[in-house]
Amino acid sequence: MQKEKRKIVIPSQVLGDIKSKSAGRGTFVENGKIYSGILGVLNENERYINIVPLKGRYDPTVGDFIIGVVEEALGSGWLVDINASSPALLHQNEVPWRVDFGDTERYLNHGDCIMAKILSVDESKKLQITLNERSLYKIKGGHIIDVEPSRVPRIIGKKGSMLSLIKKYIRCRIFVGQNGRIWVDGDTESIEKVLQTIYKIEDESTTFGLTNRIEEMLKKDAKDVR
């Protein structure tokens, strides 16, 4: 197994020169030098210096699938908490139902959970989300947990390998939102098992060979493998 060390960087650390590399995500430039602007793991390639954050809020990107919790029903839409730095707007034209003005509360109300997609992010970080897609709907039942948004790629795995692993050994339904919210549905026992697995992945997300270890763990107490 390859074991290059993952380097942790903290704000104000010097990472390089703009003459040799370009400043990527999580960095800032001052007097021709690239500095780290955030606590994270250094990810350097030939052209860019990027930092993968270890912690922090979700940074919305257009097209991401997310899980939101409705905060407030407005006259012509809803305000939805998506774990970003400000709430997202879900306009009444962006839902699959015909909503009369002022009648928004009949469809979604405070506390309801939805699977949604980021429709737009403008330069002042105003967010719009949409439900107008076949795979998007209001969540009924199941369990939602929060994880660090930066851990999401690890929980999904390469081409969904980690997720399909969990689904293979435990009978359940899972949806992982890019904003670090995960929805799990199934019987009580399997939900408990899935949550344990996900927390383990989150804890050990910066270690190597995680997929194999998770598979061993799941194999041990698997009842019906599909």
Partner 1 sequence: MKSDIELIDSNGKRLDGRGPEDLRPIKIEAGVLHRADGSCYLEWGGNKVLVAVYGPREAIPRHSQNPLRAIVNAKYNMAAFSVEDRKRPGPDRRSREISKVISEALEKVILTEQFPRAAIDVNIEVLDAEAGTRCAGLTAAGVALADAGIPMTDIPVSCAAGKIDGHVVADLGKEEDNFGDADLPVAISPRTDEVILLQMDGHLTLDEFNKAFDLAVNGCHVVSEIQKKAILDKYQSASEAE
Residues that bind partner 1 (CB under 8 A): 6, 8, 10-12, 26, 28, 30, 35, 37-41, 53-57, 85-87, 124-125, 204, 206-208
Specify the residue, 30 or 216, whose C-beta has the smaller distance to partner 1.
30
Smallest distance from partner 1 to CB 179, Å: 13
Specify the residue, 120 or 132, whose C-beta has the smaller distance to partner 1.
120
Smallest distance from partner 1 to CB 95, Å: 22
Smallest distance from partner 1 to CB 212, Å: 13
Smallest distance from partner 1 to CB 123, Å: 9
Smallest distance from partner 1 to CB 226, Å: 30
Specify the residue, 127 or 136, whose C-beta has the smaller distance to partner 1.
127
Specify the residue, 12 or 45, whose C-beta has the smaller distance to partner 1.
12
Specify the residue, 137 or 208, whose C-beta has the smaller distance to partner 1.
208
Smallest distance from partner 1 to CB 148, Å: 9
201 CB burial (10 A radius; 0-12, 13-18, 19+): buried
Specify the residue, 40 or 77, whose C-beta has the smaller distance to partner 1.
40
CB 195 within 8 A of CB 146: no
Question: 3-state SS of the chain?
Answer: CCCCCCCEECCCCEEEECCCCEECCCEEEECCEEEECCCEEEEECCCEEEEEECCCCCCCCCCCEEEEEEEEECCCEEEEECCCCCCEEEEHHHCCCCCCCCCHHHCCCCCCEEEEEEEEECCCCCEEEECCCCCCCECCCCEEEECCHHHHHHHHCHHHHHHHHHHHHCCCEEEECCCCEEEEECCHHHHHHHHHHHHHHHHCCCCCCHHHHHHHHHHHCCCCCC
